A and B are shown apart, each in its own frame.
Chain A
């Protein structure tokens, strides 16, 4: 059974850097892409970016200048860093697994429980 457990600071001040980590339990870590998605209060889901061992990283152009996604493969962990945060970055942040193997249609099939990050002075 695959489980994604995430953690990180929940309250930030404007201009600080958001840092979240997601640990993956179960399943192969290197066979999948690892994705970060967020949901601002009352709004829809926004894809932040992802990392894949063979394909590298891919970021949403709207956030690319501020985002870094990295992995610690030996620990089966993936991390998100978002710099220079503002109130607009207040959201629930999710880590998730994306299956890009043939026949899986690139589905996102497992999600973490989400971490609420609030940016406020």
Chain B
């Protein structure tokens, strides 16, 4: 199985801040890396797929980068709805696996 290591596990930030979350795969997954936001009581939301492609309707404050084994998600200008938990996910091979999650909390 491909292990996905995500960091940090939590962070505190303020509205308007820039935050970066990283994700490392245990083997090369090319660009098959996706990012999701989980908010309490809501369906998880796909933000970015294929490492850096913004899903339709997702604000441009979200961006992704990386390749191979090292990836990152950056949020430029945190908004109130962004205080949530974020997961990376590799869709390169079965079994599909996810990072441990990063909880973004209000400072």
Contacts and interface: CB of A to CB of B under 8 A. Distances in A.
A104 interface: yes
Contacts of B38: 39
A111 B98 CA distance: 15
A36 to B, nearest CB: 11
How many A residues are at the interface, by size bracket? 20 to 34
A5 B92 CA distance: 27
Contacts of B34: 105, 107-108
Interface residues of B, number: 27
B44 A94 contact: yes
B100 to A, nearest CB: 5
B55 A44 contact: no
Of the candidates A35, A60, A98, the one having the most CB atoms from chain B within 10 angstroms of its own CB is A60
Given A47-B95, A61-B95, A107-B91, A113 B49 contact: no
A46 B44 CA distance: 14
B100 A112 contact: no
A108 B43 contact: no
Given A47-B95, A47-B96, A111 B101 contact: no
B98 A47 contact: yes
Contacts of B46: 107-110
B101 to A, nearest CB: 5
Contacts of A105: 31-32, 34, 49-50, 53, 91
Contacts of A98: 91
B49 A107 contact: yes
B107 interface: no
B67 interface: no
